[in-house]
Amino acid sequence: MAATFTLKYGRTSVHVAGAEIRTQGTDFDYAKSACPVLSRSVRFCERAAQATTAAEVIEEAKKLAVATSNKLCKKCLEALEAMAATEAAEAEAAAAPAGRTPRAAQGVASVAGWELLYDKPKQGAEVGRRSVEGRPQYALICKAHGHAHELPRLTAERALRSNGGWCPSC
């Protein structure tokens, strides 16, 4: 989100125009900014901010406040911090890898209602999956007896198969 910021300063405080997030109010005609001082007709010295992100503008405004012996407006700072948090969340979401894609089914399992994920021919078993209320449910299926032992998660299949006794008829 590229925004244009303007640093405005007077005798006592530094304000930042251009923050997109308002901290109060729902009527957009009420004020043009989160800071009530910016919506008044007050004369300011102003300059364009060199930074493009809200976090960088906060640092630039703090430096200007120190250089001019002023304080940084709390309302402007709140709006910029909210905007910086939003920018950070968007950047984190863009950098995060997409969710894992589910394993493709290889066909129909030997028990009705289950799709075959993979076969375990040495053990006479297959691992199946079905969708229950939009969530995947997994099972270890005995090919000889048609028994489906439901699994809490797919990774539990190996331990259950190794321990044996999962099919009541075998």
Burial class (CB in 10 A: 0-12, 13-18, 19+), 72: buried
Q: Which two tokens stand for residue 39?
A: 């919506």
Lowest mean pLDDT among 11-20, 99-108, 142-151: 99-108
Which segments within 49-143 are labelled E, that is strand?
71-72, 107-108, 115-120, 125-132, 135-142
Instruction: Indicate the pLDDT class of residue 69, thresholds 50, 70 and 90.
Output: very high
Select the more confidently predicted residue: 31 or 131: 131
Locate the domains of the chain by residue range.
6-95, 107-163
pTM above 0.75, yes or no: no
